[in-house]
Amino acid sequence: MRVEGGRLERASTRSAVALTAAGALVILATPAGPAQTPAPTAAEVRVEAVALATAEDSTLTRRVGELQAQIAAEQARVAAELAARQAADAAAAAAAAEAQRSAAAAEASRSAQRWTRPLPGGYRVSAGFGRSGGQWSSGQHTGQDLTAPRGSTVVAVAAGQVVFAGNKGRYGNRVEIRHADGTITSYSHLSAIKVRSGAVQAGQPIGAVGQTGNAYGPHLHFEAEVGGELVNPVPYLSKRGVRL
């Protein structure tokens, strides 16, 4: 700005106006330039810093929440897989146990129904049931004799319960077994007794051939009792699928 002809005119530069001591109007010119932005105050800086920190905290909190949700989801997935595996293992174990119980029950049923010869080894059929003679105290033979070497294994012909095991006078060492059908089989003149009480299975060793009591030589005296009456052991076993 300049003074000319009593008028103020704009100039291309920024100007400052001042009065001299004589009262003359002096125009002080300064170069033109962009407007200066005032520096932020300390309070404004603090506000901006707090806002920035708050935004960062919010972002961090959100990210932490996302990570925690991912961890929780993964833990839930692993727990579900573990529970499913444990359930499958438990089911498999239960199935295996049930199969074992079924197999044991089936075997017990087969064993209860199975019959076998009282001497699994070699023997000779000798004095038969009902034979008369003075060598028997009753005058009549009450069982079937099976001659075999002393010490030969004697087994139960079927599953049952031992009702007597010990010495019985003229029968010598004797074992008596009651079977599921109510019949009783007896094994006499034993040199050894291998059972005393409890359950036995078909084919289980119960003693050994001997010559105790009223015996003319080592042999097994085998008897069968049905309904309290002694019967011929040969047809008794034959009806049960066993041939002497």
Mean model confidence pLDDT for the chain: 85
Q: Tell me if 22 is assigned to some domain.
A: yes
Structural domain harbouring 10? 1-31
pLDDT of residue 49: 80
Q: Is 93 found in the same domain as 48?
A: yes
Going by pLDDT thresholds of 50, 70 and 90, the confidence category of residue 16 is very low
Token readout for 115 is 């019959």
User: Per mean pLDDT, which range of 95-99, 111-115, 169-173, 222-226 is the poorest?
Assistant: 111-115
- Asked whether residue 137 falls in the same domain as residue 234, the answer is yes
Do residues 128 and 233 both lie within one domain?
Answer: yes
* Residue 244 belongs to some domain of the structure: no
| Domain match, 107 and 138 both | no
Is 179 domain-assigned? yes
What are the tens digits of pLDDT across the range 67-103? 889 999 999 999 999 999 999 999 999 999 999 888 8
48 shares its domain with 15? no
Mean pLDDT score, 172-197: 97
Residues 27 and 55 in one domain: no
Domain edge (last residue) among 113, 132, 163: 113
CA distance 175 to 166: 7
Are the CB atoms for 193 and 121 separated by under 8 Å? no
The yes-or-no verdict on residue 225 having pLDDT over 90 is: yes
pLDDT score of 88: 93
Same domain, 154 and 228: yes
Residue 11's pLDDT band (cuts 50, 70, 90): very low
Residue 214 shares a structural domain with residue 128: yes
| pLDDT at residue 21, as a whole number | 45
> In whole angstroms, what separates CA 63 from the centre of its chain?
44
Weakest-pLDDT range from 9-13, 21-25, 211-215 = 9-13
Q: What is the pLDDT of residues 21-54, one digit of tens each?
A: 444 554 555 555 566 677 778 877 777 788 888 8
Instruction: Give pLDDT, residue 96.
Output: 92
Residue 82 lies in a domain: yes
Are residues 130 and 222 both part of a single domain? yes
